[in-house]
Amino acid sequence: DLSGSITTPDVKLNLGGEFLKESTATTFLRQRGYGWGLGGGGAVVYSNALLLYNFREELDIDLKDIYYKIRCVLMPMPSLGFNRQVVRDNPDFWGPLAVVLFFSMISLYGQFKVVSWIITIWIFGSLTIFLLARVLGGEVAYGQVLGVIGYSLLPLIVIAPVLLVVGSFEVVSTLIKLFGVFWAAYSAASLLVGEEFKTKKPLLIYPIFLLYIYFLSLYTGV
C-alpha cells in the first residue's frame, strides 16, 4: 500500500504590490497541470485605485479636468484668473454629455422624449455653429464646439431652481431667463469667437444666442 501526504506550498501572486494567497484546491489543480482552466492564474483582486485608473484610462475621464472646466464656464469673467481656453483647446466628451443629460433630466416634466431631443439639438446645433465658424474663417474643430456648447448649458441648470421659486412672478421670471441665456451665450461665445473673426463676430454670436434660447424653451415648455 502506498501512503503519504501532500503538503500545500504557500503560493502567492504578486498583483501590483498586493499578494493573494491561492487556495488549496487552486494549488492542487495547478500542480496537476490544470492551471490553464483557472482563468489566467486564479482569482484576481483589483484595488479601488486600480479600478479607478482603468476607468479613467479606458473612457478618458478626468474628473478634476471636468470640474475645472465647469468652474471656467460658470465664472467667465477674465478677472477671476481661470485659464478658460482649456475648455476649447482641450475638449472632452463625457463632461459635456453629463451636463446635457442633467439638463435633460430637469427638463422632463413627464415627457421622456425631451431627453433624446435635447441631445439631438446639442449635436446638430453644435454642428451648425461649427460649420458657420469654419465658413467665417475660424480655426475650430467640431469636438471643441461640441464641448463648449455642452458645458455652457450649466448657467441654464443654475437658474432652473430659481425659476421654480419665482415662477409665479412673470417679470422676475423673464429677467432671470434672459440673464441665464446671456450668461450661457457669453460663456460659449467668449470661447468660440476668437480674434480671427474680427468684424464677423455678430454672425457667430447671434446663432449661439438663439441656440440657448431654444434650449431654455425646451426646459420651460414654451
Q: Is 67 within the bounds of a domain? A: no
pLDDT averaged over the chain?
A: 75
Q: Is 125 within the bounds of a domain? A: yes
Q: Is 124 within the bounds of a domain? A: yes
| Residue 120 buriedness (CB in 10 A; 0-12 / 13-18 / 19+) | exposed
Q: Is 1 within the bounds of a domain? A: no
Q: Is 107 within the bounds of a domain? A: yes
**Would you state the pLDDT for residue 36?**
45
d(CA 203, CA 184): 17
Q: Is 194 within the bounds of a domain? A: yes
What the block records as the C-alpha cell of 110 is: 413627464
Q: Is 30 within the bounds of a domain? A: no
Range of the domain at 123: 75-220
pLDDT of 58 > 70? The answer is: no
**What is the per-residue pLDDT across 97-143, written as a single tens digit (0 to 9) for each?**
888 888 888 776 645 567 778 888 899 999 999 998 888 877 888 99
Q: Is 203 within the bounds of a domain? A: yes
Tally of structural domains, the chain:
1
Would you say the pTM of this structure is higher than 0.85? no
Residue 84: partners with Cβ closer than 8 Å, 6 or more residues away: 72, 76, 78, 190, 191
